[in-house]
Structure 1
Amino acid sequence: MIISFFFLLFSSFINAQDSIPSAVDTNEANNFIFQQHFFKALSEKAIFNYKNAIESLEKCNEVIPNNTAVLFELSKNYEKLGRNPEALNYIDLALNNESSNLWMLEHKVTILRKLADFDKAILTQQKIAETHPKKKQLLVFLHLQNKNVEAAKKVLAELKEAKLLNARLRKIEERLTASKANTTSQPQPKETEANLDAKSLFEKEKSYISLKMLLEKLAVENDADLLKYSEQGLSLFPAQPFVYLMNGKALNNNKKYKKALESLQNGIDFVIDNNEIEAKFYLEMSTAYLGLNDVKKSNSYKDKATKLLK
């Protein structure tokens, strides 16, 4: 199944390039060698041997240089290894050959998010949205990660007008509206806070740092106020995954499993290249599904968490 899928993918890239068919026609031996290395690369990638896949792809590149499918696969394998600058270089080379390819553009956005280059990620996603309007939804998350709440609100308004708001975005819209009253800047406390407890400190300055300290303390102590302060945090800091994680945990503690899943699913979209926190999301999702008596999904998310932490 995997090889068949990639054969179709490979064929589509070959057919899209005028230079390749002529090369294949004039040198069948090279074409045969190229295909051997290409499918070897796909096989290695399928069993997570990304370095071996890259070696095979580099051999492909020696036989037939600048092939779009090879460049795309090189980018994907480097991204899997966490070598995102190399991954970005190869996807840019691939896009030079085929600038409007949806799969490649979406892959580029993934890499740019991991590099925290949200400005370029936004520009790329805007290009995608020009021909795929529903994919404009990701721009909301990208603007929030770029700490541009007003731009996120503008996109939400456009999506609402186009009737493209999904349940997650409606919830984010509600939180952004609720946070309007809290956007006034808070004066920095001049006196020492050494004698203030975590709740007092957060109430005093409303900063993310003080909120994180408070939520961590409440979670350890299993304090009922975890729900109250995590809800406040969602309004104040709608792009911070840790706040969604704590809110999901609080909702699970209160046996509100469906709401917990909703919050966790919203928050995981903000997790970028952080296996530890992603695994924590999956563990809370596992708890929520167990509470809903869906043992199969509960075990599935627990397995996902285990694999991430290996």
Structure 2
Amino acid sequence: MFAQEQDSLAIAKNEVSKDDLGNVTDKFQTYFFEALKQKAIENYEKAISALEKCQNLRPDEPVVWFELGKNYKALEDYTQAANYLTRTLKAKPSDQQVLVELFDVYFQTQNYTEAIQIAKKLSSFDVNYYEDLANLYLLTKDYKNALEALDVIDKKQGPSEYRENLRRKIYVESDDEKGQIAYLENKIETDPDNKQNYLNLIYFYSQTGNVKQAYQVAQKLQQIHPEAAEAHLALYKIYTEEDKLEEAVNSMEIVLNSETISADIKQKVVKDFMVFVQKNPQFEGQLVNVLGEELNYGEQSNKQLAEYYIGKDNTKAIQYFEKALQENSSDFESIKKLLLLQIQEQKYKDALALSERTLAVYPTQPIIYLLQGVSFNNTEQYKKAEESLLTGLDFLIENPQMEADFYQQLIIALKALQKTEALKKYQQKAESLKK
């Protein structure tokens, strides 16, 4: 406590050296130091009490008003904080510290109109306040001024991803498609070598359903940057919609073979490729080749490959699900699908081993108990099947289809165990559920 008190006193002396108190009495200085010290250790009420004593001695002292404003703000008494800070600002209209504190008060109280006025003044000290102005104008639906504020900071600092997203949000909220197109086209004209500018316009046209325009921009990007695989992100979707199937497959393969396109984008393209092949099975060979390559792009690719082979080649599907679980052993969806495949392919011992491991991690999942019960029944371990199924039923909530499956498996187990009374009970439950 003594060390904390000494540190606080040092902070107080440091602060007071920055504030010209002028010719003050020893009593005023003592109270003022006490206020700064108490504020430093977050005793804001005591700080205010000391400052009020200062105010009694010198009622028109701006430095006292400023400190009162900061302490009331710390206590979240924003009305009093605004009162003292605005009084300080009248006495010191260009003081940056006062403006910063008052801006925070207005923002915290959602007084956006006043916050805008303060942010305008602060922007002369720090250009980053134009970003705050853009957000404030957006909140007050003053879209024109919001865009102008972004233009100012972009001109001084260059564009940023955050501001580009903010600009896009402004255009969406203001329903100004023409304005956004004009802005994006101007970006291409002023910086034609920047591939991202083309992609932004392609993305916009794609989102608004203007496929033809997106296609034209993608072609323009290809002409200027023939090596740009990014153009094919738009082209393959356009080719698909226009039933240009060979071109669509070619574009997808270019994207997936590119070294400049990120793995997460490639994953999305693979999903589109899988949907494409479901509608156009003649391209299945190309998809299998692509998926083989896709294994280099992350752990989810094994899962994608497994899901693709479900129903086509369950043995391969099982193999790839097992690989996927080696990479992410807690992926519940993969576990569930693998258990279903193991049962379908009559690999009951494997299913029992997997269900046992899974229940150690997910002890309240009824589907795992059901699949375990099925596996026990098919290996003639009827007593264990009964125990597993009854446990799973305890966790089941409002799922009539799964409930019926539980009863079906319980009936099999109870028949084998010759538990006549229990068998009748669950047969009646099954019949009641059907009705």
Bigger relative contact order (CA 8 A; separation at least 6): 1
Please report the TM-score for the alignment, with normalisation by the length of structure 2: 0.36
Please report the TM-score for the alignment, with normalisation by the length of structure 1: 0.49
Q: Which has the larger radius of gyration?
A: 2
